[in-house]
Structure 1
Amino acid sequence: MTPAERLAALVRIPTVSDPAVRDEAAFAAFRERLGELYPLVHERLERRVVDGGTLHLVWRGGPAAPIVLLAHHDVVPVTDQPWREDPFGGRVEGGVLHGRGALDDKGPLVAVLEAVERLLAEGVVPAGDVHVVSGHDEEVRGGGARAVAAALAAEGVRPLLVLDEGGAVVEGVVPGVRGPLAMIGLGEKGVATVRLTTRSAGGHASVPPRGQATVRLARALTRIEARPFPARTNPAVAAMAAALRPRLRRPVAAVLGARAAAPALGPLLGLLGGVPGALVRTTVAVTRLAAGTATNVLAAEATAVLNVRIAPGDDLEGVTERLARVIGDPSVTVEAEGEDPSPLSRAAGPAWDRMTAALAASHPEALPVPYVMVQASDARHFTGLGGDVYRFMPFAITAEELAAIHGADERVRIAALDAAIAFHRALLAEG
């Protein structure tokens, strides 16, 4: 079988992480199929199943510092999405493999396992231990990867680097910059769920009072939208600007390279909004609203749920306090739970050099560019082990392919899969 055929076989197993439809038999079948597809990996690596389904494979090597490679195998649902293909068909045509998980995150898992299987067949022994971790509940922010990280900490494992999903090799994402960019996440934003609640007496809707719960909640939401969190230059954004200089025209490159320009970079990106704005500020999205029980009854309670992505430099406590100040209404309670941003890894040093050397082997035209990942990943659980933690999947993907992650018609080009295998082969053979 080819790597694409093996990935297709895994895509066909619907390991959907949704409590309403989760099929544990599918997850068990997935683990069994991995053993069939990668016999040397399962014969020669230590195999552990953690927290009910997360796989932890250990390839013992020499005395050098270990590395940890993460790639979860659970996927998001496909319900109510207008797929043109069978999302679990794994069809390959025209050099493209179609199906849920092709990129997020079974494709990266296959890239890792293909590299390990080939190196085992060649008799290669890694310079240090290699830990391959495949979470079974990443998409629902479960505890599988967290349990593995805790076990590694208890064993005193201190990796040189940890690598998980994140940025990719892309083009056209930065205005005015030509050529492929390898966007490598140095950290990720924190994630919080904030609940706003306000109450009133209720009663018959024919006599509505002033200051209804729904109105006060609406006022709170409009105040939050009118006063976004400030945009700031964080170290990862400054490193990103420095990395982009070789691909920028001289006047722009000179401006970005000036020390005096650094404080203004964050506010400038904030004005652009969208992805650039999300890199430099804490963002707030209203994701759920609830109020009332009938069309002719005043709502006694109104609630809103906010998804907040916390930028480096902010924390959960400060975010909660600022939201309460902006709302300015003591009748609206603000309750929050979540995690602070992860520490930022270095865009220099042995781990970074090993990453960029592997990238030069697999994607020689790509410029390594550090950034802050705005999504959450299992990597956040491994930041306490020491070493550098990066978020990067070595796949060249288009804007359309990126948009299909978590959406309809997720797919991966076979050439991109082959290059990702080459990246991991170079990464593991290094040292």
Structure 2
Amino acid sequence: MAEPVLTARELVTRAVAIPSVSGEEAEVAAYLTAWMSAHGFRAHVDGAGNAVGERGHGALTVVLLGHIDTVPGEIPVRVEGGVLYGRGSVDAKGSFCAFVAAVAALPEAALKGARFVCVGATEEEAPSSRGARYAMQQYRPDLVLIGEPSGWAGLTLGYKGRLVAKVQVEKDNFHTAGEGTSAADDLAEAWFRVRAWAAAQGANGAFETVQATIQSLSGRTDGLSQVAEATFGLRLPPRVPPAAAEAALRERLRDLPARLTFTGHETAVRHPKDNVLTRALRVAIREQGGTPVFKVKTGTSDMNVVAERWPVPTVAYGPGDSALDHTPDEHLDLAEYDRAVAVLTAALTRLALGS
């Protein structure tokens, strides 16, 4: 028996109820592709495990790239007072389901004017960004929407870059009454230098500063040697490329007995605020009674990954409060989700019709 037609709310509720920690997205991808196939999409799971659905056949190609993986941490899935609780409700199954529901609702005239490709990407919450890196080799879009929570009236234009430094110090063990520094002392000195370098970059506002944090810190000894290890995370503004930050830190730490490993090289991105995509979204938000708000984020997203290969108008959009990302209280107001679907449906129709 064919699956009954589901509402947009049922779509997101069922998707959130399927666990999909990064690397374990197969079940939710199967559910989403089945839903899309039942609602007029040409749908499949691609080589990276992404849930992909296409509608329309016009000359304009719009890629709606969201992600369907989550960070760990089980939150009992429930709807209370019109609010959906569950891991991924905000970050970011809510956004991707809003994309899918909006494209499913498009009128036939819009489908004649454009091709809409919804990609529910895997491993966005992992350093690999596997799904986005695969997708960006498959399509050449004219316009791109990234599925991330912005609030239904918010349009996110940019994300900071990222660099992760792993620092390890290993030294022979010695009595603490003796002269010299311990492995932990040298590791602490490395952190002080990293923090001082970040502060020296100046600039006003969180988006323009270099933010440095300690992500992990540990030390151990077996009686013969000492090992101290740390992971430092850097959030980088557009004017500080990851390669430049790595070179600067290697120079500042070169006299310390530390082994350095750098990962997570993501370049910051910021798109223009006035183009055909932002105009369509702004009109649609106003039609729903909202006031459009432009935003930039201090985190990273798949926007960072695809920006260089897809140099086209791009906006991150989706319902929900990004302050709830990764928290134990992650939840999505379903009335806001409904408004986001309405905004997307109207904006995509306007784009396809060229109006």
Does residue 313 of the first structure (1) align with residue 283 of the second (2)? no
* Equivalent position of 1:168 in the other structure: 150
CA distance in 1, matches of 2:117, 2:28: 19
CA distance in 2, matches of 1:370, 1:28: 32
* Equivalent position of 2:287 in the other structure: 361
* Equivalent position of 1:374 in the other structure: 298
Does residue 184 of the first structure (1) align with residue 184 of the second (2)? no
Extract unaligned runs of 5+ from structure 2.
Answer: 1-5
Which SS does the other structure have where 1:139 is aligned?
Answer: coil
Contact 1:190 1:340 in 2 (8 A): yes
> Any residues of structure 2 matched to 1:22-41 within 5 Å, and which?
22=24, 27-41=25-39
Deviation digits for residues 107-159 of structure 1 (CA, Å, limit 9, x no counterpart): 11221121222226x6642522111110121111331121111122xxxx2x2
* Equivalent position of 1:6 in the other structure: 11
CA distance in 2, matches of 1:99, 1:332: 42
CA distance 1:207–1:12, change in 2 (3 Å): same
CA distance 1:33–1:199, change in 2 (3 Å): closer
> Any residues of structure 2 matched to 1:222-233 within 5 Å, and which?
222-230=192-200
* Equivalent position of 2:340 in the other structure: 420
Percent identity at matched positions? 24
Does residue 283 of the first structure (1) align with residue 279 of the second (2)? no
Contact 1:15 1:73 in 2 (8 A): yes
* Equivalent position of 1:215 in the other structure: 185
Deviation digits for residues 220-278 of structure 1 (CA, Å, limit 9, x no counterpart): 2123334434456xxxxxxxxxxxxxxxxxxxxxxxxxxxxxxxxx43x3xxxxxxx3x
CA distance in 1, matches of 2:227, 2:109: 66
* Equivalent position of 2:249 in the other structure: 323
CA distance in 1, matches of 2:30, 2:263: 37
Which of the numbers 53, 59, 66 marks the counterpart of 2:61? 66
> Any residues of structure 2 matched to 1:243-258 within 5 Å, and which?
none
* Equivalent position of 2:3 in the other structure: none
Residue identity opposite 1:382 in structure 2: V
TM-score (norm 2): 0.86
CA distance 1:108–1:166, change in 2 (3 Å): closer
* Equivalent position of 2:42 in the other structure: 46
Does residue 151 of the first structure (1) align with residue 138 of the second (2)? yes
CA distance 1:229–1:388, change in 2 (3 Å): farther
Per the TM alignment, residue 186 of structure 1 is displaced from its structure 2 partner at its CA by 2.3
Which of the numbers 134, 149, 158 marks the counterpart of 2:120? 134
Deviation digits for residues 332-386 of structure 1 (CA, Å, limit 9, x no counterpart): 3433233242443211122322232232233x33233242x22221222322123
CA distance 1:349–1:66, change in 2 (3 Å): same
Residue identity opposite 2:209 in structure 1: R
CA distance in 1, matches of 2:264, 2:21: 24
CA distance 1:166–1:210, change in 2 (3 Å): same
Contact 1:291 1:299 in 2 (8 A): no
TM-score (norm 1): 0.72
Per the TM alignment, residue 304 of structure 1 is displaced from its structure 2 partner at its CA by 1.7
CA distance 1:390–1:216, change in 2 (3 Å): same
CA distance in 2, matches of 1:190, 1:343: 7
Extract unaligned runs of 5+ from structure 1.
Answer: 80-86, 171-181, 233-265, 270-276
CA distance in 1, matches of 2:147, 2:119: 12
Which of the numbers 230, 237, 250 marks the counterpart of 1:304? 230
> Any residues of structure 2 matched to 1:226-241 within 5 Å, and which?
226-230=196-200
* Equivalent position of 1:392 in the other structure: 317
Contact 1:187 1:389 in 2 (8 A): no
Contact 1:58 1:129 in 2 (8 A): yes
Residue identity opposite 1:282 in structure 2: V
CA distance in 1, matches of 2:8, 2:252: 53
CA RMSD between the two structures:
2.6
CA distance 1:183–1:280, change in 2 (3 Å): farther
Residue identity opposite 1:311 in structure 2: P
Residue identity opposite 1:69 in structure 2: L
Residue identity opposite 1:102 in structure 2: S
CA distance 1:343–1:28, change in 2 (3 Å): closer
CA distance 1:332–1:29, change in 2 (3 Å): closer
Aligned residues: 344
CA distance 1:197–1:315, change in 2 (3 Å): same
CA distance 1:146–1:52, change in 2 (3 Å): closer
CA distance in 1, matches of 2:33, 2:177: 67
Which SS does the other structure have where 1:422 is aligned?
Answer: helix
Does residue 100 of the first structure (1) align with residue 87 of the second (2)? yes
* Equivalent position of 2:278 in the other structure: 352
Deviation digits for residues 88-114 of structure 1 (CA, Å, limit 9, x no counterpart): 43x222111111111111111221121
Per the TM alignment, residue 207 of structure 1 is displaced from its structure 2 partner at its CA by 5.2
CA distance in 2, matches of 1:167, 1:9: 19
CA distance 1:95–1:370, change in 2 (3 Å): closer
